[in-house]
Amino acid sequence: MIKTDILIIGAGPTGLFAVFEAGLLQLKCHLIDALPQPGGQCAEIYPKKPIYDIPGFPEVLAGDLVDNLMEQIKPFQPGFTLGERAETIEKLEDGSFVVTTNKGTKHHAPIVAIAGGLGSFEPRKPQLENLAKYEDNGVAYMIKEPEIYRGKKVLIAGGGDSALDWSIFLTDVAEEVTLVHRRNEFRGALDSVEKVQQLKNEGKINLITPAEVVALKGENKLEKVTVKNTETSEEIDVEVDNFIPLFGLSPKLGPIANWGLEIEKNAIKVDNTYDYQTNIPGIYAIGDVNTYPGKLKLILCGFHEATLMCQSAYQKIFPDKKYVMKYTTVGGVTGFDGSKKEAPKAVVKAID
């Protein structure tokens, strides 16, 4: 069981900055995120896009903002459970919470701060009638263990980096690799596009474009997929063992929607007049995942919400302690790792 003071769900900019504000109050944080790396949307969707409305940064790349936040919170030694999705929450008798992920990792904390953004990123599934029937029975949306495709006939659909990269990789493992994409053009790193071209020329990748998968066939497991040429409307059946649609990720609020929190407009309602607490005392929601009158989904608003949440969390954890907010310029930053940053002392010296 992982124990911490504030359990933060979502490691995007808002969640990361909450670690800093909590650290100033000597509160420890642990973050859970469904993505394999911290940074949320900034790292997953648009790391190379500039952001112009972070106060004090005329321009900053989303990926750099994440790197800076990670550097800023390093002294406070946050824990991370990455690549796992927060699934269930249980309130214990003493008012604290146990949050369990889809992989069974348990986290115990008196305060839970949901900084889940748009939700957890789930693979986009193609709209095929009997898709569910073949899930884990020939159809997969991500490749976890490439070895299971050894000697198999694999058909990948998609036109982005992951479709290209896995097609390339699987030519060394699978018996047959077919890549289906709705256009002749692929959107990926130039290297990957050229490599696929080369493998196609060598006959190692069976490339079908412009086309899409329109039907799945098979008795108990996937046996064939029907591929339709989108120009000629001609349909062919391809014999396969595995079909892997790689159409990117889309955010879903997911299991959090079933935690008994008040939801409005696909977001969690919070008390914006005070501390961004939800209808369940001890559970807060900050950043893009919350809603209140006048809500703006801006990173800078998330930072503010995280700051007020931490103050409230402190008072909840230590109801009897007196505390006033201290400026970092005055108090400096003392990390849990023993590091100390502070303003240099002014020199007092007489001038002759």
Partner 1 sequence: MSDIKLKITDREGVLHEVDAPTDMNMNLMEVVRSYELAPEGTIGICGGMAMCASCQCYVLSDHQLPEKSDDEEAMLAEAFFVKDNSRLGCQIHITEDLDGLEVELAPAED
Residues that bind partner 1 in the complex, under the rule CB under 8 A: 45-46, 49, 118, 124-127, 158-160, 181-183, 185, 187, 247-248, 250-251, 253, 265-267, 291, 297
Nearer residue to partner 1 within complex by CB, 246 or 306: 246
What six digits make up the tokens of 186? Answer: 């692929």
Please give the backbone phi and psi of residue 186, each rounded to the nearest 5 degrees, phi first: -115, 145
Q: How far is the CB of 168 from partner 1 (least distance, A)?
A: 19
Region of 117 (left: φ > 0; alpha: ψ -120 to 50; beta: rest) is left
Bridge partners of 291, per DSSP, are 269
Give me the least distance between CB of 293 and partner 1, in Å please. Answer: 13
* Cβ-based neighbours of 219, under 8 Å, separated by 6 or more: none
Residue 182 Cβ vs partner 1, minimum distance, rounded to whole Å? 5
Residue 265 Cβ, how far from partner 1 at the closest point, in Å? 4
Closest separation in Å from C-beta 287 to partner 1 = 14
Q: Which of residues 66 and 310 has its CB atom nearest to partner 1 in the complex?
A: 66
Distance (Å, whole) CA 111 – CA 98: 10
Q: Which is nearer to partner 1, 29 or 267 (CB)?
A: 267
Shortest spacing between CB 48 and partner 1, in angstroms = 11
3-state secondary structure of 311: helix
3-state SS assignment for residue 28: coil
CB 244 within 8 A of CB 156: yes
Report residue 295 as tokens: 């809500």
Q: What's the half-sphere exposure (Cβ side, CA atoms, 13 Å) at 250?
A: 5
Closest contact distance (angstroms) between CB of 15 and partner 1 is 18
**Shorter beta-carbon distance to partner 1: residue 5 or 288:** 288
CA 11 – CA 14 distance, rounded (Å): 7
Closest CB 163 distance from partner 1, rounded Å: 9
**Angle made by CA atoms 139, 145, 151, in degrees to the nearest 5:** 75
| Contact (CB, 8 A) for 174 and 145 | no
Nearer to partner 1, 89 or 128 (CB): 128
Give me the residue label for tokens 């106060």.
55
- Which runs of consecutive H residues, i.e. helices, occur in the chain? 13-24, 40-44, 62-73, 131-134, 161-170, 190-201, 299-317, 328-331
Residue closer to partner 1, measured from CB, 131 or 317: 131
Q: How far is CA 227 from the centre of its chain?
A: 32
Please state the closest distance from residue 159 (CB atom) to partner 1, in A.
6
Please report, to the nearest 10 degrees, the dihedral formed by the alpha carbons of residues 22, 25, 28, 29 taken in order.
Answer: -10
CA-to-CA separations, 45 to 18, 48, 100, 123, 334, in angstroms, rounded: 21, 9, 26, 13, 33
